[in-house]
Amino acid sequence: MADATEGETAQLPLHQRIRAEIEGKILSGEWPPGYRIPFEHELTAHYGCARMTVNKVIAALAGAGLIERRRRAGSFVAQPRLQSAVLEIPDIQQEVAGRGETYGYELIGRRRRPAGEDDPAVFTGQEVLELRCLHRANGRPLALEERLISLASVPEAAEVDFAATPPGSWLLHHVPWTEAEHRISALAASTKVAAILEVAKGAACLSLERRTWRATETVTAVRQIFRGDLYHLVARFSPQG
């Protein structure tokens, strides 16, 4: 996989390749929030290009909210902004594996369509990819996922085989985001949800709704409904200085 990605990156125009490589370091965690990226003259020497090319890349990354430019200090990887909850965006596959359980995944539905009246207003006038997925832990249904991906913001999502790759995992590893909002609530399983999660109608479930942005663009909106008896939401954090 790494070899294929490197080959694809090498075929890009130079300024796109520089941006892709910097984004890759940020997304992988190699350059964590607060990390000072190389100065423009260092990147110019490394890539053997014009200073203007590097400046264009840095400006684009700053515009996307991935880095912060500080006068006389340089450019630093930006801190993601979370609203409504102090939580990281969870990767269900990693969470299940981290609990020592076997992860399972099933794509229930996939549809490419224009945004409709029942969709969040931010998607109005856009084409979206609608996905419904089921996540399992040790063979038992854990969460039902209903997701919309903006194809204006993430056109490459239309070509991804989400029958093999969970969309949340793919987005976390391939699409930079700068801001997220969580909405957490309790709900009683409807007849349809109860059938999918294999619980009694009215059983307690945890609903996690989330939207993520890249600068001003909405990337995705998702609702994940977890079985209340199999999932616990835990966040550890410290006071902000």
DSSP assignment of 95-114 equals HHHHTT--EEEEEEEEEEEE
Rounded CA separation 12/6 (Å):
10
pLDDT, position 2: 41
What is Dmax (Cα atoms) for the chain?
Answer: 64
Using alpha carbons, select from 92, 35, 66 the residue that is nearest to residue 213: 66
pLDDT, position 175: 82
Using alpha carbons, select from 101, 171, 111, 172 the residue that is nearest to residue 143: 101
pLDDT, position 84: 40
**Continuous H helices in 115-203:** 167-174, 191-197
pLDDT, position 241: 41
Instruction: Report how far apart the first and last C-alpha atoms of the chain are (Å, whole number).
Output: 40
pLDDT, position 142: 96
Going along the chain, which residue ranges are E strands? 67-70, 74-77, 81-83, 103-114, 127-137, 140-150, 179-188, 204-214, 217-227
Cα dihedral 135, 188, 213, 35, rounded to 10, equals -70
What is the number of other CB atoms lying within 10 angstroms of the CB of residue 219?
Answer: 22
pTM (global) more than 0.85: no
Per-residue pLDDT in tens (0 to 9) along the chain, 241 residues: 344 444 544 566 888 888 888 887 876 678 888 899 999 999 999 999 999 999 999 988 887 778 888 888 889 988 765 444 445 667 888 888 888 899 999 999 999 999 999 998 889 999 999 999 999 999 999 999 999 999 999 999 999 999 999 999 999 888 877 788 888 888 899 999 999 999 999 999 999 999 998 877 899 999 999 998 887 766 555 554 4
Rounded CA separation 186/175 (Å):
29
Using alpha carbons, select from 224, 223, 225, 191 the residue that is nearest to residue 119: 223
Rounded CA separation 166/75 (Å):
33
Rounded CA separation 218/224 (Å):
18
pLDDT, position 8: 47
pLDDT, position 158: 95
pLDDT, position 28: 67
Let me know: does 36 contact 58? Beta carbons within 8 Å. Answer: no
Rounded CA separation 2/5 (Å):
5
Which domains does the chain possess? 2-79 (1.10.10.10), 82-227 (3.40.1410.10)
